[in-house]
């Protein structure tokens, strides 16, 4: 399993790097739709794993919404005088509020599931709130690239991904080696407090790297934001685990051997990206 994960990562990481740093924001936003359509189809199984019609209708709905965003908010209109387009900002704000609500659903599971587990409408709405703010945050951060520093936006996207990857990897290896105390056994029996601690420690390695590359940053702010994003990414992971548990699905798909589906790979990012984007707008712009 670990070998397959590594092999997949070897070919996947160059593709991610190429998209983040090699594509224009406009082209990036259109390519991204394809990735999110796969994730949407996988979320359709959470809504109803036995009904293809439900899965495809949800996927088509997500596709229409993302295409509309690209058409009505072109990449050259995303930012104006360091202010994000109000449509994108509103979606990111809604997404951030959703993750606070999702956290409440996770910590109160399985009682909270009684409210939504039999409702296609609620599960579809949760899927939209998970995927669309993540898409807008990715495009918004990427769109921060400027003529003086064309890789600035891509660097921010990579930074969030690096924090999430470090947290996931630290949690995986620390959990395997030291895991004893279950984190939330009702949601994800395999996750442990020791694993979470290992993930947070690894996120601090990233914070240390940031200070080495950009020493003018305020250390306390970098540490606090990195830790917070690491914790938020864990909420994204636990949230998907909760929905898959109710749907009785182990992996969201098979698109990425060793990792499961696209949704399994981006679950932490779906929470981390919109929250980080909002923090960046508030504290760094």
Q: Is the pTM of the predicted complex or chain greater than 0.85?
A: yes
Higher pLDDT, 253 or 259: 253
pLDDT per position as a tens digit, 93-128: 999 999 999 999 999 999 999 999 999 999 999 999
In DSSP terms, 214 is beta-bridged to: none
Could you state, in order of their start, the residue ranges of all structural domains in the chain?
A: 2-283
The closest of 206, 221, 209, 213 to 284, measured between CA atoms, is 221
Q: How far apart are the first and last CA of the chain?
A: 42
Whose CA is closest to 139, among 95, 202, 107, 172?
Answer: 95
More confident residue, 37 or 17: 37
Q: Encoding tokens for residue 77?
A: 């209109």
C-beta of residue 84 within 8 angstroms of C-beta of residue 31:
no
pLDDT (0 to 100) of residue 160: 96
pLDDT score of 53:
95
């Amino acid at each position: 399993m670990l070998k397959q994960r590594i092999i997949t990562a070897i070919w996947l990481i160059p593709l991610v790097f190429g998209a983040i740093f090699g594509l224009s924001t406009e082209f990036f936003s259109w390519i991204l739709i394809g990735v999110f359509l796969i994730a949407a189809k996988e979320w359709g199984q959470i809504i109803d794993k036995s009904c293809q019609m439900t899965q495809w209708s949800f996927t088509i709905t997500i596709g229409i919404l993302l295409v509309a965003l690209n058409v009505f908010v072109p990449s050259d209109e995303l930012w104006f005088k360091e202010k994000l387009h109000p449509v994108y900002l509103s979606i990111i704000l809604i997404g951030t509020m959703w993750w606070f609500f999702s956290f409440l659903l996770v910590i109160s599971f399985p009682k909270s599931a009684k409210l939504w587990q039999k409702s296609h409408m609620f599960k579809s709405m949760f899927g939209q709130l998970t995927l669309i703010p993540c898409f807008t945050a990715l495009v918004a951060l990427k769109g921060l690239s400027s003529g003086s520093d064309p890789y600035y936006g891509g660097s921010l996207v990579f930074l969030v991904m690096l924090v999430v990857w470090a947290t996931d990897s630290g949690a995986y290896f620390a959990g395997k080696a030291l895991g004893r105390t279950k984190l939330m056994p009702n949601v994800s029996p395999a996750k442990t407090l020791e694993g979470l601690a290992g993930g947070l420690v690894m996120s601090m390695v990233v914070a240390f790297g940031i200070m080495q590359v950009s020493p003018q940053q305020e250390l306390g702010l970098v540490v606090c934001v990195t830790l917070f994003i690491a914790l938020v990414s864990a909420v994204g992971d636990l949230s998907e685990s909760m929905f898959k548990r109710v749907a009785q699905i182990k992996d969201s798909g098979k698109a990425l051997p060793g990792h499961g589906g696209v949704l399994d790979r981006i679950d932490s990012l779906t929470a981390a990206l919109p929250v980080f984007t909002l923090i960046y707008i508030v504290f760094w712009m």
